[in-house]
Amino acid sequence: MPLLEASSLRKLYDGFCALDGVSLAVGSGEFVSIIGPNGAGKTTLINVLTGLLKPNTGRVLFKGQDITGVGPVKLARLGMARSFQLVNIFPELTVLEVVKVAVVSRLGRGGRLFSSLARDREVTEQALAVAELFALADKRNIPAKKLPQGDKKLLDVASAFALRPEVILLDEPTSGVSTREKHTIMEILVSASKEIGIKSIIQVEHDMDIVFGYSDRIIALHQGKVLADGTPAAIKADEAVVNTVVGRKTRMPERGA
């Protein structure tokens, strides 16, 4: 049984079809990247998979349970999470406090959030362990807003990892950072996922070097539909997908060559 499965998802916005019959299945141990040009439906798909949006038709199953439109809070309790971008929500909090927010949520102590952040030893220990996995422990007392962009991205991902999900969905985890920082983020992300025990990663990503370098499977969307679903090698070999989704022309051999 797939960990996450979506069937015939259709999502309309005032008559515009953002998703048009999208189906997919993600199994344990897979790193899946979702790619496509702007307007292809990538973010809408992530929002539907994580319960932020309810599709007009179709359904989403997680570990065989229908989770269509249940919302990210309940979904996190079931074992699926997405990056929070808590840096934008709590810019004044320190690195460690931002991770603590996610830990408090997982432990069900949200009703006394700030007392848990300040005095709860279990919360502190668990948050520090996650910060160490993401090479942020030395910066734990720095306000999140003062971090360089690469560390802000790491902190966003670390917050989601602090929920200890089985499946994690990431929306452009390396956007806005240098090429060198992108690979650092990805190496830390993959290493941390193994340490925490995350079974599958699904990401939306525009950087094709990252996509082809880290993915087991690539799902290409175009105009709200699945154009292709295959290994990096299979996607690279498909000229129509490369031209339509990746956005660069493949040089065809000259006639008679």
The answer to whether residues 87 and 159 belong to one domain is yes
The answer to whether residues 85 and 160 belong to one domain is yes
Domain count, the chain: 2
150 membership: H or E segment, kind and range: helix 149-161
Task: Give the domain range for residue 251.
Answer: 1-76+166-173+197-257
Position 32, amino acid? V
- CA 140 vs CA 7, 102, 136, 202: distances in Å: 42, 15, 6, 27
The answer to whether residues 110 and 148 belong to one domain is yes
pLDDT in tens, 187-213: 999 999 999 999 999 999 989 999 999
According to the model, what pLDDT value does residue 92 have?
87
According to the model, what pLDDT value does residue 253 have?
32
According to the model, what pLDDT value does residue 162 have?
92
The answer to whether residue 16 sits within a structural domain is yes
Chosen domain end from 116, 147, 164: 164
The answer to whether residues 209 and 233 belong to one domain is yes
pLDDT in tens, 34-83: 999 988 999 999 999 998 899 999 999 999 999 998 988 888 889 999 88
Q: What is the CATH number of the domain that holds 123?
A: 3.40.50.300
The answer to whether residues 12 and 67 belong to one domain is yes
According to the model, what pLDDT value does residue 105 have?
81
Predicted confidence (pLDDT) at residue 176 exceeds the cutoff of 80: yes
The answer to whether residues 102 and 126 belong to one domain is yes
Helix axes 149-161, 179-196, angle to 10 degrees: 20
Chosen domain end from 123, 143, 164: 164
Residue among 167, 165, 160 at smallest CA distance from 6: 167
The answer to whether residues 147 and 202 belong to one domain is no
The answer to whether residues 66 and 18 belong to one domain is yes
The answer to whether residues 86 and 59 belong to one domain is no
The answer to whether residues 4 and 42 belong to one domain is yes
Contact yes or no for 191/130 (Cβ under 8 A): no
Q: What is the mean pLDDT of the chain?
A: 88
pLDDT in tens, 69-125: 898 888 888 999 988 666 677 788 999 999 998 888 887 766 555 555 666 788 889
The answer to whether residue 184 sits within a structural domain is no
The answer to whether residue 188 sits within a structural domain is no
Where does the pLDDT of residue 245 fall: very low under 50, low under 70, confident under 90, or very high at 90 and above?
A: confident
The answer to whether residues 5 and 65 belong to one domain is yes
The answer to whether residue 207 sits within a structural domain is yes
According to the model, what pLDDT value does residue 102 have?
87
The answer to whether residue 6 sits within a structural domain is yes
The answer to whether residue 95 sits within a structural domain is yes
The answer to whether residue 1 sits within a structural domain is yes
Neighbouring residues of 44: CB distance < 8 A, sequence distance ≥ 6? 11, 18, 19, 53, 224
The answer to whether residues 2 and 60 belong to one domain is yes
The answer to whether residue 71 sits within a structural domain is yes
pLDDT average, residue stretch 130-151: 93
